[in-house]
Amino acid sequence: MKKVTTLLAVSALLVLVGCGKSNEYTPPADASGEAIFSAACTQCHTPVSQDVAMVLSEGVANKEAIIAKVQSGSMRMPSFTNIQGEAADRLADYVLSHSGSQ
Ligand code: HEC
């Protein structure tokens, strides 16, 4: 019984640190989309080439979906609640214009 409790505690901790958390990154007011991408995204999304920052699946290949993804995250991607307004717009423009499709 004690083992099970410890195991539960450890996995709860892993979930807390690991996934679905929000990222506090706040872009500087004048940051370009590219600057935001390299500061906040490349740790997970390694650019494919200089022209292709990300390969987007069809459903996400539009600005609204990219912004929604960034702000809401997912089980495996943190949510960036401080990327808002014009910064989110510039970031989505950059990702979209530097995306390959599948
Ligand atoms: C901690 C790692 C991590 C960081 C940091 C991260 N992402 Fe993600 N992202 C993921 C993972 C994992 C997926 C795939 C799973 C999913 O769709 O949720 C993903 C998926 C996406 C998708 C959907 C791609 C598709 O084709 O379905 C977009 C768009 C995206 N990320 C944009 C961004 C942007 C823009 C940033 C920077 C603000 C960013 N991500 C930062 C891990 C990350």
pLDDT digits (tens, 9 = 90+) for 53-69: 999 999 999 999 999 99
Q: What mean pLDDT value characterizes the chain?
A: 87
Q: What is the average per-residue pLDDT within 92-99?
A: 97
Confidence (pLDDT) at 21: 86
Cα 1 to Cα 99: distance, rounded to the nearest angstrom:
51
Q: Give residue 1 CA to ligand 1 midpoint distance, Å.
A: 38
Amino acid at 73: G
Cα 91 to Cα 63: distance, rounded to the nearest angstrom:
9
For residue range 10-33, what is the model confidence (pLDDT) as tens digits? Answer: 445 445 555 568 999 999 999 999
Mutate to test the pocket of ligand 1, among 43, 77, 93, 99 (most ligand atoms within 8 A of CB): 77
Mutate to test the pocket of ligand 1, among 17, 36, 45 (most ligand atoms within 8 A of CB): 45
